[in-house]
């Protein structure tokens, strides 16, 4: 009976220790994964200059519209604005490609 009690006590002690280590390991893994996710979100939120280019374009467009509201109906003006929009698109794609590389 002493042998059984000793074996049972040893088994229980070792199982408790093993399960405690498993819980600690799971907590460490969860904390690591959380940190990786936060670092990835920080990486995704970094600035790349596209917003500044877009803001500049919007400011110029609004300034033109405020100064010359009747010229927006002119066909040549529309062509010029479309050309500027294409240039803006090219600039934004260039920034995106540079960042991708």
Average the pLDDT over 10-30 and give the result: 97
Is the pTM above the cut of 0.75? no
Checking if the pLDDT of 23 tops 90, the result is yes
pLDDT, greater one: 58 or 74: 58
Q: How confident is the model at residue 18 (pLDDT cuts 50, 70, 90)?
A: very high
Quick one: pLDDT at residue 86? 95
User: How many angstroms separate the CA atoms of 58 and 97, rounded?
Assistant: 22
């Amino acid at each position: 009976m002493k042998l059984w009690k000793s074996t049972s006590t040893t088994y229980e002690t070792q199982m408790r220790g093993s399960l405690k280590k498993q819980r600690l390991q799971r907590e460490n893994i969860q904390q690591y994964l959380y940190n990786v996710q936060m670092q990835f979100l920080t990486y995704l939120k970094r600035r790349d200059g596209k917003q500044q280019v877009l803001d500049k374009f919007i400011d110029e467009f609004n300034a033109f519209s405020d100064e010359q509201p009747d010229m927006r109906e002119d066909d040549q003006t529309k062509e010029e604005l479309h050309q500027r929009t294409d240039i803006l698109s090219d600039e934004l794609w260039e920034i995106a490609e540079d960042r991708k590389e």
